[in-house]
Every structure is written in C-alpha cells, then in structure tokens.
Amino acid sequence: MTQTNLARSAPQDETTWWRHAVIYQVYPRSFADNDGDGIGDLPGIASRLPYLAKLGVDAIWLSPFYRSPQHDAGYDVSDYRDVDPLFGTLADFDHMLAEAHRLGLRIIVDLVPNHTSTEHAWFREAVATLPGSAARQRYIFRDGKGKDGELPPNNWQSIFGGNAWSRAPGDSQWYLHLFDRSQPDLNWDHPEVRSDFEDVLRFWLDRGVDGFRVDVAHGLIKAEGLPDWAGQTSMVEGEEGAHSNNGPMWDQEGVHDVYRRWRQVLDEYDNDRMMVAEAWVHPPQRLARYVRADEMQQAFNFDYLLTHWDAQAFRDVVTRSLAVSAEVGAPTTWVMSNHDTVRHTSRYGLSVPGARPKGIDAAGEQPNEALGLRRARAAALLTLALPGSAYIYQGEELGLPEHTTLEAEHRQDPAFFRTSGEEIGRDGCRVPLPWQSAAPAFGFGPGTATWLPQPVSFARYAVDRQEGDAGSTLELYRAALRLRRQRHLGNGELVWRDAEPGVVAFANGGVHVVVNTNDHPVALPGGEVLVSSVPLDTGHMLPANSAVWLG
C-alpha cells in the first residue's frame, strides 16, 4: 500500500496550545441572551460556558462586542476599549473571562483594525475640521475628480456594493470605505494609528485575553497613489472568478510590518498569546507569509472552506495546505463555516455541493437538508482528524443549517441593502441558537423574540433534543473532540492511504480515517470503529456520504 507522509503540524516537542487547538466561534448577539431583549450578551455567554467546556473545545473566539452603532453588527467600532451596552459592561467581560479561564477555556477577541465607525471620536473630529487637518490624516480623505471635485477620487468599489467613497454632508472631500459608508478606512501609514492600536492590544492583553482574531488582516495597507482598478472588489475570489482579491487595496507588503510589531507586543506577555488572520489571500504561499515566525500564529484556511464535496479536491487542498504551512513552521488552521458564509451544512446540500453562494433566500435553490447534514457530519470527522488547529462556528456542532427563507423585512446585513437585495447577505448564518426545543425563542433567553427570527425547523436541532442522544450531531462532535485530544491528532502526522475514487483515506495518531464522498457504499479496511458519522450496520462497508475513524 502506498503511503505518503506529510510534515507534522509542529515539532514533537512543541507545546504551544494554538498549534493544535480547537477554537469555537461565538457570535455574541446570537449565542445566548441573559436580559431578555432578544440579543445575546456577555452574561448569556458566561452562563453557557459549561456547555462549551463539555463540548471539548480549547478556546473561544468572540466576534465584536465593542461600543458600536451596530450598522454592521459591531464591525463598525466607535470605542475599542469598551463594551457596547447591548452586550453588557467591562465588568461583565471580566467575569466571563475569569469563568472561561476557570473552566480551562481561553478567550480570543475580534480586532477590527481596517476601519472604524463614523461615530468614532477620531472620525467625528476629522469631519469637523478642514481638509488637510491632522485629524483627517488618520483616515483616507482625498479631493474628488471633476471640475468641482464631484467625482470620487478613484473607481474602487465597496465590498458591500456601490462606490467605495463617500462625502460627509457639506464636506468637499471624499473618504474611503471598502465596506459600508459607516466604516471609514484608517490610514495605516499614520504613526498615531499604529501606536493607538498597539495600546488597544495592551488594553485587552492586560485584562487577560489570550489572543486576537484580526479582521480583514490583508486590507490595512493600500497601494501607493490609490490607483484605479478595473476588477470587482471582493474579499474572496468569486465562484466563477468574476471577483478578485488581488487588487491594490489587498495584501500589500506593508501589512507585514504591522504584524511584526504586534507580535513583539504579544511576546511581552506570558501564557503564549496568539493572533489569527482573516486574510482572503491567494495563492497559499501568500497566505503563509502572515504566519511566519515573527508575525501571526494562525491564518484561516479559506481554501479548505471553499472546497466542494469531492474527495480529490479535499485531498489536494489538505496536501497543499500542510506543505505550504510547513515551509514557514506554522500549523494549518482548518475552518468550514463562519459568520460571513452560508453554513456548510446547507452548502453541502446544494446541487453543486460546497459552492459558496452569497446567501440563500426563498427564491433561490433550497438545499437538501438531510443530505447536507449527512455530508457535514462526515466533513466534521475529516476536519477534526487533521493535524493543526480547527475552528467551529457556533451551531455547527448541532448540525444547524442556514435560515434560507428569512423574509426581506427582517434582514439587517448592509450588503443586502447596498446591493438592493442582489446579494442576499449573511443574516441566514447568524440566526440565534436553539437551546430548548419547546421553549419560547427555543430557550435563547428569557424573552419571546430574537433579533433575527428563528425558523420552526430549529426545534429539532436544539441542544436539549440532542443531549444524550448517541446518534445526534452534538454527541458526534463531543466524541470526536474527546478522541482528537486523547490521540493527540492536532499534533499528529498525516499519512495518506490508497483509496478508490471518491474516498479520502489517511492515518494520523494511530487512527485510520476514511471519508466516502460517493453516492454508493465502499469497502472498509479492518479495525475497531472509534466513531462514525452514520451507524455502521452494513458489515465491512462505509455508506455513501459518511466517514469513520478506525483504531
């Protein structure tokens, strides 16, 4: 039998936790509500920490909870050193952090350095002063083109649709916003911007956080002169290649100077603090630059997230990812879903399984829910058996699907409104979690309503419906995470095994992993069944769209 050994995710004597950690993303407004207003909060998160400890994850990544007018669900920050009253107080944060640490859970907070809110004190000062003022230098203000400056400074488009330039009322200059007009881009060539964010890092590190997820990590530095660009601005390459993330606003060499300095700040602290990059960068060799020894520790592997339900595609992306990461001595960071993408349970149920639509609504193709869940369970066993780190998006462990019939009047994603509904947006993956199948709001909180309405179908995915059910997705995740820890799979070595077409097969840490992406059963090698995504009652056969770990 042919064997192909790939590099370990870390040297055998490596003990740094982030190399092999499983990290759970909490989207605060949709995780758990304590005060009954229908919006999740920090006390709600604190109350559910025992659930996450029992799940078996190592750390929690919290999406933004800072002061914000909430035009983009908190990614428009008005004060980086305070908690928005929607979510609680700094005291609530400190309590939640202490409780997490008591339970052995680390906390990573989201940092949004590319842009602020228009309500940030800096921007308010900028628009209150004249063109050329020192306050305006912290942002990217430019005179317009045309006879009277009535045209934008260049042709860049916003990620959320429309022009990437706006003018404040009565202002003669334009300011750049790669996202919503309420999110002006900072000028990262300005020393005060760099200095202030180093202070922000220290503010949260001094409180005891264990790391940072860096939003739009590839976007801080823009090409000199802000040249026109004919491409369609996007965070990620489009499914058909229509969009590109290779424009002059992305992945400029200067971003690495920022992260080298940030790494120095983190290294001033004990307990192995870390950073993870959200950088939609291609090819993988460019992504690897963000995790060199003197920069960040992790970068999300979005190539893996974008992989369709295809055995050869999975094998190719895993092989490539491990090889490229090994070249810079970094772990690979596997991810299947997050708050910006259609949930993979639903993507795997589409006619092109795994395709990444920009949201799904009632008028679009409806996923095959049962097939998507079956494939998602198998994908979980594939992902959690790989060397490196892995991220779980809240609800993934429940098999939660996308809300694909959310009415337009309930939508809140600015991308939906800036594109006049052409882009469905991200609301469908952000719906509040179901905790109790028969309770109002499915036990999300003491109230009867949630900030985004939950579909009736969420009842069958509720935590209390799955708890203790050996065949449930929740118990599958618990079992896989327990075995992953016991067998040290995160620090393991992947060895490919020969397999028939449509099958992914490899060994890691004494575990033989077989994933069948075919629509028909395949023969299994011998071995003790450690965990399987479906009941194995077919002798030595692995059913279609399923996976197993053998000992």
- Reduced to 3 states (helix: H, G, I; strand: E, B; else coil), residue 475 is helix
Angle at 471 between CA 467 and CA 477, to 5 degrees: 70
Amino acid, single-letter form, for residue 322 = L
Among this protein's residues, is 215 annotated catalytic?
yes
Whether the upstream peptide bond of residue 387 has omega within 30° of 0, thus cis, is no
| C-alpha span between 50 and 32 (Å, rounded) | 13
Q: Are 405 and 385 in contact (CB under 8 A)?
A: no
- Reduced to 3 states (helix: H, G, I; strand: E, B; else coil), residue 461 is helix
Question: Active site residue: 268, 316, 327, 422, which one?
Answer: 268
| C-alpha span between 283 and 286 (Å, rounded) | 6
| C-alpha span between 404 and 6 (Å, rounded) | 39
Question: Active site residue: 215, 251, 396, 402, which one?
Answer: 215
Among this protein's residues, is 150 annotated catalytic?
no
* Long-range Cβ contact pairs of 197-204 (< 8 A, separation 24 or more): 197/80, 197/111, 197/113, 197/262, 198/261, 198/262, 198/265, 200/80, 200/81, 200/111, 201/111, 201/262, 201/265, 201/266, 202/265, 203/80, 203/81, 204/109
User: Residue 474's Cα: distance from chain center in Å?
Assistant: 20
| C-alpha span between 474 and 318 (Å, rounded) | 25
Helix 369-384 × helix 473-486 angle, to 10°? 10
Active site residues: 215, 268
